Amino acid sequence: MRGTRVIRFIFFGNYFVGILAVALNLEGLAQLNLPYNSLTYYALLFLAPIVYYTYAYNRATLVTSESNLRTKWYFDNKKFIGISQAVLFTICLILALSFLYQNFENIIHLPFLYWLAIIIIVLAGGLYYGLLPRSFLPFNLRNTGWLKAFVIGFVWACCANVLPLIFLKIELNVGSLNFLLWTWLFIKNWMFCTVNAIIFDIKDYPTDANKQLRTFVVRFGLRSTIFYVLMPLLAIGLLSMFTFAYFMHFKLEMLIFNVLPFLLTTFVAYNMYKRKSILFYLIVIDGLIFFKALCGLLGMQFL
């Protein structure tokens, strides 16, 4: 069916991941009352995760399986994926070179802390899928079990709350920021995205157990992971959100919008006992991040 093909294209092809990256950026800037970045930045932000995740997953997919819909989709569409990757990478390269040409002086004069943040994000992103040369760093964060989810959450929180600040500094020289407020917002996003990553690990439970990859679900079991890992992390994220809301003087309507994603995530976590399809995780679980970004943006309309 055409509808099913479109859905698989969007989610298996990682286009929804690009949408998530843009949505989280918009939410973060809105909540910090900062101006938005340029269209070039958002185009890069949308395309780069698509290229990155598709390359990483395609690289990790060595054997096709009829039972794994995502692996089968990659196998059946390998010619299209090869062409699309080349096209999207070329567009990314053109956009990056254009941005570099327009902002070269501002880039080379970035303060040290901004460069340090860039290095940390690049290293975390590269190490997660083991994309860096083993001769340089043989460490693969995917093989560290419990640490993996925190690294994924950290990278996505950086995408939401660090990248836009770096590019605002380059494009508009916006550097003044309440660091305490930013910290609470970063922790909120870090915990929310970490919980999302742990829930996502549930689908890989049999494979991770066979590989002796000690994820939270493998180590503690599903029930204990939900009650003793997911719930405390959600509580930390919620506490950070309330603290941020207090200092930002959120109205009741704003507070309600920002609490909704945490409540929905809690509900979804409580209902993870039954086995779900890969599309369920890509649409519903990743959809929680989009829902959070949407609620954050809608809540700011009451400011």
d(C-alpha 133, C-alpha 121), whole Å: 17
Q: Is 172 exposed, middle or buried (0-12, 13-18, 19+ CB in 10 A)?
A: middle
**Cβ neighbour number for residue 148 with a 10 Å cutoff:** 23
Per-residue burial over 99-137, b = 16 or more CB atoms within 10 Å of its CB, e = otherwise: beeebeeebeebeeebeebeeebeeebbbbbbebeeeee
Cβ(230)–Cβ(195) under 8 Å?
A: yes
Number of domains the chain contains: 1
Give me the residue label for tokens 């829902």: 291
Q: Range of 49's domain?
A: 2-300
Task: Read off the tokens for 34.
Answer: 């900062």
pLDDT digits (tens, 9 = 90+) for 73-105: 998 898 999 999 999 999 999 999 999 999 999
pLDDT digits (tens, 9 = 90+) for 119-178: 988 888 777 665 555 545 555 555 555 678 888 899 999 999 999 999 999 999 987 778
Residue percentage of the chain with pLDDT more than 90:
57
Query: What is the pLDDT confidence band of residue 1, given thresholds at 50, 70 and 90?
Result: low
Task: Read off the tokens for 276.
Answer: 């779900």
CA distances from 76 to 59, 79, 82, 118 (A): 15, 8, 12, 36
- By residue count, the chain amounts to 303
d(C-alpha 36, C-alpha 303), whole Å: 17
What was the pLDDT predicted at 210?
Answer: 44
Average pLDDT value for residue range 268-295? 87
Average pLDDT value for residue range 239-251? 92
d(C-alpha 183, C-alpha 6), whole Å: 38
Rounded to the nearest angstrom, the gap between the alpha carbon of residue 234 and the centroid of all alpha carbons in its chain is 16
